[in-house]
Amino acid sequence: TRGLSRGLSRGLSRGLSRGLSRGLSRGLSRGLSRGLTRGLTRGLSRGLTRGLSRGLTRGLSRGLTRGLSRGLTRGLSRGLLEEGFPNAEAFAYTDAPIPSHMLPFAPRQTGYSADAQPVFYWYISSSWPGKIEFTINESGAAAPLLETQIEGPFEKGIYRIDLKDYDVHLQPETEYEWFLVIIPDPLERSADFLASATVRYVKAPEDLQTALQRTSRETLPDIYAQKGYWYDAMENLCDLIDTDPENTKLRSMRIAILKEEKLSPAVYEDGNI
* DSSP class of 50: H
pLDDT (0 to 100) of residue 158 = 93
**Could you tell me how far CA 258 lies from the centroid of its own chain?**
19
Q: Of 204, 250, 210, which is closest to residue 227 (Cα–Cα)? A: 204
pLDDT in tens, the chain (273 residues): 676 566 556 655 665 556 556 654 665 566 556 654 565 456 545 654 554 455 444 444 444 444 444 444 445 444 444 454 445 455 455 678 999 999 999 999 999 999 999 999 999 999 999 999 999 999 989 999 999 999 999 999 999 999 999 999 999 999 999 999 999 888 888 889 999 999 999 999 999 999 999 999 999 999 999 999 999 999 999 999 999 999 999 999 999 999 998 887 776 655 557
Query: Residues 6 or more apart from 218 whose CB is under 8 A from it?
Result: 240
pLDDT (0 to 100) of residue 57 = 44
pLDDT (0 to 100) of residue 46 = 60
pLDDT (0 to 100) of residue 48 = 47
Enter the pTM of the model: 0.66
- Within 10 A of 234 (CB to CB), how many other CB atoms are there? 27
Do the Cβ atoms of 90 and 131 come closer than 8 Å?
Answer: yes
pLDDT (0 to 100) of residue 37 = 57
Cα distances from 246 to residues 3, 160, 240, 243, in angstroms, run 117, 20, 11, 9
Q: What is the CA radius of gyration of the chain?
A: 36
Euclidean distance between CA atoms 172 and 77, whole angstroms: 40
Cα-based angle 127, 130, 135 (whole degrees, multiple of 5): 100
Euclidean distance between CA atoms 70 and 76, whole angstroms: 10
Helix (H, G, I), strand (E, B) or coil at 228: coil
Query: Residues 6 or more apart from 99 whose CB is under 8 A from it?
Result: 124, 125, 126, 127, 128, 156, 182, 193
Helix (H, G, I), strand (E, B) or coil at 204: coil
pLDDT (0 to 100) of residue 264 = 72
